[in-house]
């Protein structure tokens, strides 16, 4: 089955980036913070327009587009490259990470190369307001369904608090 790609450069997309083998890397705050800092950098410097997001233990969901003059595939590529490099370097150096050897072995491909992110990002174009609302709800309810919180807006690593009237960790665009 061919990999889905971003075809409409001006479109708004629902995207999912998954860690290789669904490894639970983001159970550690330091690794979640790598994602937060990288998303913030992409918003401020690369034209990322973020409408919604949520970091789970082994994946991140978000609804996003690129500002005029920017390319969403390029932004996502750079985000994945930077976060993978940063997290892998941290894993290699962190002798206190109890899962270090296991995680590095899991991310190793042939010839000692590492693959942190699974291929693709499952882009789905947001084709209607109803579809946007469906994906927004799906993203925000992910931590509730996983039993991490009782209310979506109580999960710090998502934009649900923004939609409940608060100010979350990242600047988002309200559609």
| 3-state secondary structure at position 25 | helix
Comparison of pLDDT for 38 and 3, the residue scoring more: 38
Average confidence (pLDDT) over 143-151: 97
User: What is the residue whose two structure tokens read 């290789």?
Assistant: 20
pLDDT of residue 91: 84
| 3-state secondary structure at position 101 | helix
Neighbouring CB atoms inside 10 A of 55's CB total: 24
pLDDT of residue 165: 96
pTM: 0.90
Mean pLDDT of the chain: 91
Q: Tens digit of pLDDT for each residue in 29-80?
A: 999 999 999 999 999 999 999 999 999 999 999 999 999 999 999 999 999 9
């Amino acid at each position: 089955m061919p990999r889905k790609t971003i075809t409409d450069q001006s479109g708004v997309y629902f995207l999912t980036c998954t860690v290789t083998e669904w490894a639970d890397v983001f159970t550690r705050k330091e690794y979640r913070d790598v994602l937060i800092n990288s998303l913030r950098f992409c918003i401020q410097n690369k034209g990322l327009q973020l409408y919604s997001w949520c970091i789970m233990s082994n994946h991140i969901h978000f609804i996003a587009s690129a500002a005029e003059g920017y390319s969403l595939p390029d932004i996502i590529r750079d985000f994945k490259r930077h976060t993978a490099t940063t997290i892998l370097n941290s894993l290699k150096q962190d002798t206190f990470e109890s899962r270090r050897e296991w995680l590095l072995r899991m991310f190793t491909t042939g010839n000692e190369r590492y693959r942190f992110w699974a291929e693709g990002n499952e882009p789905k174009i947001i084709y209607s307001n109803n579809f946007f609302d469906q994906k927004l709800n799906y993203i925000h309810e992910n931590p509730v369904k996983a039993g991490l919180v009782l209310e979506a807006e109580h999960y710090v690593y998502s934009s649900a608090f923004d939609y409940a009237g608060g100010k979350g960790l990242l600047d988002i665009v309200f559609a």
